[in-house]
Amino acid sequence: MRCSEPLSLGSLDDMNSVSRRRSRISLVVMIVGGFLAVAPVFGPLGKTLHYLADFIAERPQPIEHYFHGVRERIAPTRPGALQFARRVDYDVQANWKVYVDNYLEGYHIPYVHPELLKLYADYQSYRTEVSDWYSVQVGPLQQERNVYTAGGGEALYYQIFPNLMLNVVPGRLQSNVVIPVAADRCKVIFRYYYDDVTSAPARERIEADVAFSDKVQREDAEICERVQQGLGSRAYDKGRFSVRFEEGVYHFQKLLKHAYRAWLKR
């Protein structure tokens, strides 16, 4: 993972008063209450129409503006019919942006997540697509039955700026909300939704899915914490982005810099 320049909350907060520190930290807590922000897009998964945050644009748009195209892409999963099954919280000893960067880059998958890699039909076909306010990583799934699918289909990994992820596979949607806690710590809230939560096969699938996701998340947390340590080293320096594997990271950091600049001009 590379950054075009170090972007830590600490670097923004080493001057001015405690009140300005707090206001800047709160600046990036965009989406709270899980799916409260996405009701018009995902039906019963949310409750109320909210705006993402007023600092994203001078004149914020309704939530549909930021999710444009998502509803149509994930329609085969029938998100409006999915039922809530589980919530799992994780405390990660890393800046929230480190966590998002890790989510968005594809370098580490073969090395950090070898079991996840086996679920994809062809890793060479794994790709990132970028929209105005989000990016989506697309992973074609194996034709054989596995923890994600009865066979075939795609895994869609949406990162919706600034701190919401939607991980979609056939019959299941998992949301992640990344909440900044400190300059070197964040909380990540996982919520699981399925088309069936009551039958015996469904309960078995849910347990297998949550256990597998927990393993992947712990692998991600470990690599994020190592990156956080590296960012504190005097040896750290910025580097170039990988066109193939870091398009989503580049897109996220562009939006983030724009948001910071707009806020600081107020």
Question: pLDDT tens, 51-60?
Answer: 344 444 456 6
Query: In whole angstroms, what separates CA 127 from the centre of its chain?
Result: 16
Task: Give how far Cα 173 sits from Cα of 7, 12, 139, Å.
Answer: 30, 35, 15
Question: What dihedral do alpha carbons 124, 129, 135, 137 form, nearest 10°?
Answer: -20
Task: Round to whole Å and give the CA distance between 6 and 99.
Answer: 14
Least confident of 43-52, 57-66, 100-109: 43-52
Residue 22 in this model has a pLDDT that exceeds 60: no
Residue 138 in this model has a pLDDT that exceeds 50: yes
Residue 29 in this model has a pLDDT that exceeds 50: no
CA proximity to 54, closest of 22, 30, 34: 30
Place of tokens 């309960």: 203
Residue 9 in this model has a pLDDT that exceeds 60: no
Structure tokens, 97: 């942006």
Question: What dihedral do alpha carbons 93, 97, 98, 104 form, nearest 10°?
Answer: 130
Q: What is the pLDDT of residue 70?
A: 92
Residue 260 pLDDT grade (very low, low, confident, very high; cuts 50, 70, 90):
confident
The CATH class given to the 9-264 domain equals alpha beta
Measured between alpha carbons, how far apart are the two ends of the chain, in Å? 31
Residue 195 in this model has a pLDDT that exceeds 70: yes
What is the arrangement of strands in the sheet containing 83-92, beginning at the earlier edge strand? 83-92, 185-194, 172-182, 164-169, 154-160, 134-140, 127-130
| Pairing between β-strand 134-140 and β-strand 83-92 as defined by DSSP bridges | unpaired
CB 45 within 8 A of CB 79: yes
Task: Outline where 5-105 has alpha helix (H).
Answer: 9-13, 18-27, 39-42, 63-66, 70-73, 96-104
CB 137 within 8 A of CB 106: yes
